[in-house]
Amino acid sequence: MRIITLSILIFLLLAGFASAQLKGIPSYDNAYRNYVAGNFDEAIKNYDDYIKSYPNDDKAIYERGMCYESQRKFDDALRNYNAALQLKPYFSPYYVSRGYAFVKTNMPQNAYDDFTRAVQNDPTNPDGYFGRVNANLDLNKYDFALTDLNAAINLNNKNPLYYYVRAMIYTELDDTTRFYNDIERILSNYPGEYFSSFKSQGVVLILDNIENNINYLNDAITNDPENYLLYFKRGFNYYLFRRFVPAADDFQKAARLSPDSQSRLVKYAGMLIDNCKFYSEK
C-alpha cells in the first residue's frame, strides 16, 4: 500500500510539473504575438507567466526586455538584458540591444563597450558596427563613427539607414560632396517611405535623432535664414520623418536660395519635392 501511495504521489507531482510546462507554452505564444503587435503591457504579463515556468529561457527574457524598452522603461529593459546575457554570455544580438539601451540612457561609453563585444563575438554582423556608430557619435568621435559605418556598409550595402546616417555625419564634417553622394544613393535605390519597413532599435533611435536634428536646424535657420543648405538638411529630416508638406516647403526654399540653379542640390531638391507630393497623396 505504501508503495502504491508513493507511486501515485510521484505521478501527481510529475503531472503537475508537466501541466505547468504545458501552461507555459501558450503563455509564450500569446506573449510573442502581443510583443510583435505592440501590445507591450499584455506581452509583459504573458512573458511573466511563461518565465515562471521557464526561468532559463534567455530569448523570452530578452524579448520582455525589448517590451520594456519600447515603453521607455530602460531600467527594466537593462535588468532583462543583463539576465539574458547571464544565460547566453556570447550572443551578439543581446549586447547590441543592451548597447542601444545604454545609448538612450546617456551612457555612451557603456554602449560602446557592448557594441564592441557584439563585434568581437560576431564580426560578420553589421549590427554591432552600426550600434557602435551611435555610441561614437555621442562621444563626438566622427572619424571612428565613419570607420564603423563603412564597415557596416561593406557587410550590408542594401540598408538605406546606413547611407542616411553617413550623409548626416558628412554634414557635421562639412563634406557636402560626400553628403550629396549618399543622398543620390538613397534617391536612386530606395523609396521615400523606406523607414516604415524597419522596426529595429536603431531606427527608433534614429527617429529620435531626426526630431533632435529638426529642432537644431530650426535654431540654425533662425540665426541664418538665407542659408540654403540648412533648409535642404531640415527638409531631408522632415522627409525621413514622413512630414512631407514641410519637407517640400524646405526643399523649395533651398532651391530658390541656391546660387547655382544647376547644382546637385537643386536637382535633388526637385526629385525630393516630387516624392513628397507622391507620398503625401497616398
Where do the domains of the chain lie?
18-89
Residue from 201, 177, 8 nearest 93 by CA: 201
3-state helix, strand, coil in the chain (%, to 5): 80, 0, 20
DSSP letters, 152-188, are HHHH-TT-HHHHHHHHHHHHHTT-HHHHHHHHHHHHH
Identify the pLDDT of residue 275: 86
Question: C-alpha grid cell for residue 154?
Answer: 561593406
d(CA 45, CA 27): 9
Mean pLDDT to the nearest integer, 1-27: 46
Provide the whole-model pTM: 0.76
Give the pLDDT confidence of 156-171 residue by residue, as tens digits: 998 888 888 898 888 8
Q: What is residue 202's predicted lDDT score, i.e. its pLDDT?
A: 52
What kind of fold does domain 18-89 have according to CATH? 1.25.40
Cα distance from N-terminal residue to C-terminal residue, the chain: 77
Q: Taking residues 63-92, what's their average pLDDT? A: 95
Is residue 2 very low, low, confident or very high in pLDDT (cuts 50, 70, 90)? very low
